[in-house]
Amino acid sequence: MKLLETLEKRFGFLAVPNVVLSIVIAQLFIYAAILVGQVDYASVIFDAQAILRGEWWRLITFLIAPPYLAVTPFQALFLAFYWYIFWMTSQAVESVWGAFRFNVFLLLGLFFSIFGVLLGQLISPAPSLGMTSLAISMSVFFAFATYNPNIQFLLLFVIPVKVKWLAWFAGGFMALSFLFAPSMGYRLLILAPLLNYLIFCRSELTQSLQNRQRQAQFKAAKQAEQAEALHTCTECGATEKSHPERDFRYKVVSNDAICLCEECRLSESDAVTS
Ligand SMILES: [Zn+2]
């Protein structure tokens, strides 16, 4: 990401902090305008065929249009949730990267998404492809999950779930949608909005996966070692395999045989005598 550092030095002053908060507020305003009949929802959403016919304003308005109009209370609740998560995750990622880097991330995501959907529309002409700001917020969510994998969300306000599991679930769902997509156009629609995430977070993602693998290997090796060992010191966990130079003895404490290595026996008797 050397290019990004060079760009930040030259154009860092152009960075706009808290862009997503502005997007969320704009969506709320547009939502209100739709409710009072000032704005026609159908004319502001992303409709690839309409855009290719020349309704280019949709390239901007889709971003400040709500992802859907809620009919049931549950849908309204979910929409409120969506706005909150979009804002909260972007705050967290922006605080790690700084405003400039986060701006570039969003702009690239926007560019890839728009380009991907329009290209997909040209490849698979019918039906018209569409997308919402969800395409952008997903890549922000994945970036958030990569940096904060163990933060817990309360699913439906009660069930605690780690962010990494939500991200894996969403990723798995997208992979399935990709596999069973009806056309190449749909595949582009699913894949394109994630390219910015892959560019920005690839190294962090592979690093955390490698760490997991290493931890698992270490744990397995340790377990295998302990399983094989005849004597395991109850104080320090040393075995005759890990510390072959030590002498292991047993003593009975309240009817339980306790194994101690000579190191621990020495320090125990030191503690008693001093
Ligand atoms: Zn010991």
What are the extents of the domains in the chain?
Answer: 2-204, 219-273
User: What topology does CATH give the domain 2-204?
Assistant: Rhomboid-like fold (1.20.1540)
Give me the amino acid identity at 269. Answer: S
Distance 226 CA to ligand 1 centre (A): 14
What torsion, rounded to 10 degrees, do the Cα atoms 265, 270, 272, 274 define? 180
Give me the amino acid identity at 39. Answer: V
Distance 262 CA to ligand 1 centre (A): 7
Distance 269 CA to ligand 1 centre (A): 13
Distance 221 CA to ligand 1 centre (A): 20
Distance 216 CA to ligand 1 centre (A): 25
Distance 132 CA to ligand 1 centre (A): 61
pLDDT of residue 273: 63
Give me the amino acid identity at 75. Answer: Q
Q: Which residues of 108-128 are buried (b: 16+ CB within 10 A; e: fewer)?
A: bbbebbbebbbbbbeebeeeb
pLDDT of residue 229: 79
DSSP 178-198: HHT-SSHHHHHHHHGGGHHHH
Distance 272 CA to ligand 1 centre (A): 16
Distance 149 CA to ligand 1 centre (A): 35
CA distance 223 to 208: 22
Across the chain, which has 274 residues, the per-10-residue mean pLDDT values are: 83 89 96 94 92 93 94 92 94 94 94 93 86 93 92 81 93 94 90 92 83 84 78 88 88 85 85 64
Distance 212 CA to ligand 1 centre (A): 29
**What predicted TM-score, i.e. pTM, was given to this entire model?**
0.75
Distance 236 CA to ligand 1 centre (A): 4
